[in-house]
Every structure is written in C-alpha cells, then in structure tokens.
Structure 1
Amino acid sequence: MIRAAIPLLPDGDEAREWAERELADPVYDAAQPTPLDRAARAIAEFIGDLLSPRGDIEWSPVLAVAAVLLVAGLLVTAFLIWGRPRLAHRTESSALLFGEAESRSAAQLRAAAEESARSGDWDGAIVARFRALARSLEERGILEAPPGTTAQGLAARAGRPFPDRAHELQAAARSFDDVRYLRRRGTAEVYSAVVAVDEAIARSVPAHAPEVVPA
C-alpha cells in the first residue's frame, strides 16, 4: 500500500512549484504588505531554499510531505495571528463609499464625526459616523462595501454576522439616508444612536466567518 501511494507524491520540482504558486497568489500582494503578507513571502523564500537541489541529495517523498505540512502549518499560524490577507479589490472599494469618494480610515471618520458633533452639525456627524461604521467593517475584514453599495444594503449584510444588532444597524442606515438624501434634520439623539451601534459592533465578534466576496 505504501509503495502504491509514493508515485502520487510530488517530486522536488513539483513540490517547489506548488509551494511557490500558492504563496505567489496575488491576494498576498494586493495592497501594502501586512504581517501575513511578509510571512507568506518569507515562507516562499524558505521553501525555495529547502527544495533547491543540493549536491547529490535526491528528493524524498517523506520530505515532500513534511515540507507541504510545514507550509500549511505556518500559513495557518500566520492567519490566526494576523488575519487574512487584504483582498485584491480592497483598493477599489476603499476609494468609494456609498457613491462618494472616501479614503479616510474608520478612526479618521469617527474623529470627523466628533468634530461635527461638537460644532452642532448633527447631519454631518451622523453621515461621518455611519461611514466610519462601514469602513470599520471593511478594515476588520468582516465585509466589503464595493461601489454601488447602499447604506441599507450594507446594514442588511452586516446583520448576518451581527444578528443581535440587525435592527440597530437598519435604524442607523435609515438615519444616514434621512439626513443624506431626504434632507431631514439630524439630532443629537439620532447621532448618539449611530455612535452606540458603531461602538457595539466594534466590540463584538462576528457570528460567522468574514465574507470573502460581497453579496
């Protein structure tokens, strides 16, 4: 049985090619390197050195399996520590948010919302804070808001990983639409409600794995 299984194992060139192809996936180079990106590159270099022919040493099927398992273990460890790599379309989605150019981070948007609130501009504060909520979900890798995403659509999708906050998310989205599109005046109470759901989501762990492709 063992001898029959050995031909299915990769030879040295095949194992190296598999490892390099996996670790060269564009998903790891889509944005500025994260710790996981750097770890993946380091692993690729390590495997390349490991699988390079050295003198008269022949590739062992056992070593091939060990190398593949080592790569898998290192990638899983890096994933658990630093999270998944940023997606290739993150750059495009970060340029627009609810139909408008928006490149600020969640922290910057929250600061802008607080500044608007201090000056009594509740409309601007509500809009900026809901945008901060959406950008925070992107930054955490929970879901994405590609061009064409609406506030209501984002709230509906965010309600899946955060079912306990689904109604609050929908209410915050309605508040965003009210002041942004329907020209209804924002209030301190409405702003406080949007802040509350943003803070609650920021403290919560999603109920299921992050979305890889927007719904």
Structure 2
Amino acid sequence: MTVTGGTTGDVPVDIPRVPAQEAAERELSKPMYHENDPNLLQRGLDRFWDWIGRLFDSAAGATPGGVVGLVAIVMVVLALIGALWWRLGTPRRSPSTGADSLFEEGPRTAAEHRIAAARHASAGQWNQAVQERMRAIVRSLEERTLLDPRPGRTADEAAAEAGRHLPAHADALRTAARAFDDVTYGGRTADEPAYRRIEELDTALERTKPTLEPATAAPGFAAAPR
C-alpha cells in the first residue's frame, strides 16, 4: 500500500498490506462507527425473516402456479386439518386409573342425578345434562339390583351389562353410553335432542321388567322332565 507523506517533497510511503488491513479494522471497530447499528435482537429477527423469505421463495418456485399455487395448497391443508379436528374432536386424555369412570364424585342416588340433569337442562347446559342423566340410568339399575355397584365402571360397560337384562333397550343403552363418552372425553357438544333421547330411555327403563338370564344346569344333572 502506498500513501503520500506530509513532507515537503511528498515522498510516497509504502505500508505493507497486512498491517494496513489491521489498522483499518481497528479504526472501523471504534464505537463511533456503530452507533446506529441494529442490536442483537434486531439482527436475529432480520436473519429469521430473511430465512423465511428464502424458504417461501423456494417453495413457491417448486410449486405449480408459483405463489398462488402455494397459497392454495396451504389453504387445502388447513381445511383438511380443520375437518379432521371437527370429526375426531379434541384428543382424548391419556387413560389412567379411573379416568373413564362413570361416577367421578361420591355416591348419589338416581333421583339426585335426575334432579341435577333437569337443572342443567333448564339452563341449556346439555353436556352436563347428558352426563347426569346417564349416571341416573346406571344408578337406577344398581338400585334395582340389575347391576352390581362397582367402582370404576365405564358407561360402555354399564350399557353392555344392562343390555343383557334389558335386551329391548340394548341398542338405546349403547347409544346413550356413546353420547356420554362423546361429551365427557371426546370434546363433542350435546344438544337438546340428545338429552331428550336419554331422558326418554331413563323413563322407559323404569317401566321395563328385566329379562332374567336362564340358569345353567350343573354338570352331571339333567333337567327334570315335565
């Protein structure tokens, strides 16, 4: 590097390249040259948005139709995700001991569950009304000794067991249990018709006589002739 000296004869002064570069770097590193530089957070954000821009440009270049095609694909994917979420509901919580139990609180009578169901129904709280009416059905069957009281029993288990004693209502019991599971674990929302169906089932079961399961003859003994 050659510079002109300040002497009278303006004799050129040769400075080696490396020392000159180091001197320039020291000069430029002074704070006075960086007062208006963006801070660390701003630089990080700038790099992030640059990366997003390059990623978007690459995706748009690889997609038929460019940017419009990419936007259309994103909209279709979002629509599919929304449809699956609506169809499957909120992910069900992880199973644990007693997680699917029909009764979460202490023992209550069928009449108490019916009162609670009616109170929720009058307030338009159909999810809670469905839950309490299903609990009333199962508790009533236990009070009638058609079901043995068993802690941790699920709505599906209760419906299956009750259906053997009340075969004419087996399908309705399974439907009621499914409605209970949908609002309790599946993130679904019940409506008034769903509640009224379970209410009608409860009333019908109260009027229905159970079908006793035939006893099995002990081995080695024949049925007595008529």
Q: Is residue 134 of structure 2 the alignment partner of residue 124 of structure 1? A: no
What residue identity is the alignment partner of 1:150?
A: T
Residue 146 of structure 1 is matched in structure 2 by: 150
The answer as to whether partners of 1:98 and 1:149 remain within 8 angstroms in 2 is yes
In 2, the alpha carbon distance for the partners of 1:179 and 1:138 equals 23
What residue identity is the alignment partner of 2:184?
A: R
Q: Is residue 136 of structure 2 the alignment partner of residue 155 of structure 1? A: no
Considering fraction of residues, name the structure with more helix. Answer: 1
In 1, the alpha carbon distance for the partners of 2:106 and 2:138 equals 11
The answer as to whether partners of 2:155 and 2:177 remain within 8 angstroms in 1 is yes
Q: Is residue 174 of structure 2 the alignment partner of residue 170 of structure 1? A: yes
In 2, the alpha carbon distance for the partners of 1:186 and 1:99 equals 19
What is the number of equivalent residue pairs in this alignment? 115
Q: CA deviation at 1:99?
A: 5.0
**TM-score, structure 1 normalization:** 0.51
In 2, the alpha carbon distance for the partners of 1:168 and 1:113 equals 18
Residue 224 of structure 2 is matched in structure 1 by: none
In 2, the alpha carbon distance for the partners of 1:112 and 1:102 equals 14
> For 1:147-174, what per-residue CA distance to the aligned partner results, in whole angstroms no more than 9, with x for missing partners?
2211011100100010000000000000
In 1, the alpha carbon distance for the partners of 2:135 and 2:178 equals 13
In 1, the alpha carbon distance for the partners of 2:208 and 2:160 equals 17
What residue identity is the alignment partner of 1:126?
A: V
Cα pair distance change 1:199/1:99, threshold 3 Å? closer
Q: Is residue 142 of structure 2 the alignment partner of residue 113 of structure 1? A: no
In 1, the alpha carbon distance for the partners of 2:210 and 2:191 equals 30
What residue identity is the alignment partner of 2:104?
A: E
Pick the aligned partner of 1:197 from 194, 201, 208. 201
> For 1:4-62, what per-residue CA distance to the aligned partner results, in whole angstroms no more than 9, with x for missing partners?
xxxxxxxxxxxxxxxxxxxxxxxxxxxxxxxxxxxxxxxxxxxxxxxxxxxxxxxxxxx
> For 1:183-211, what per-residue CA distance to the aligned partner results, in whole angstroms no more than 9, with x for missing partners?
100100000011111111111110016xx
Pick the aligned partner of 1:180 from 164, 181, 184. 184
State the structure with more CA Rg. 2
Q: CA deviation at 1:104?
A: 1.4
The answer as to whether partners of 2:110 and 2:139 remain within 8 angstroms in 1 is yes
Runs of 4+ in 1 over 3 A off after TM superposition: none
Root-mean-square deviation (CA), in Å? 1.9
The residue correspondences of 1:32-43 to structure 2 (distance < 5 A) are none
Residue 212 of structure 2 is matched in structure 1 by: 208
In 2, the alpha carbon distance for the partners of 1:206 and 1:154 equals 15
Q: CA deviation at 1:146?
A: 0.8
The answer as to whether partners of 1:126 and 1:175 remain within 8 angstroms in 2 is yes
Q: Secondary structure in 1 aligned to 2:179?
A: helix
| Structure 1: stretches of 5+ with no match in the other structure | 1-96, 210-215
**TM-score, structure 2 normalization:** 0.48
| Structure 2: stretches of 5+ with no match in the other structure | 1-100, 214-226
In 2, the alpha carbon distance for the partners of 1:139 and 1:105 equals 8
In 2, the alpha carbon distance for the partners of 1:114 and 1:200 equals 17
Q: Secondary structure in 2 aligned to 1:169?
A: helix
Q: Give the fraction of aligned pairs with identical amino acids, expressed as a percent.
A: 42
What residue identity is the alignment partner of 2:167?
A: P
The answer as to whether partners of 2:103 and 2:135 remain within 8 angstroms in 1 is no
The answer as to whether partners of 1:145 and 1:154 remain within 8 angstroms in 2 is no
Q: CA deviation at 1:144?
A: 2.0
Residue 139 of structure 2 is matched in structure 1 by: 135
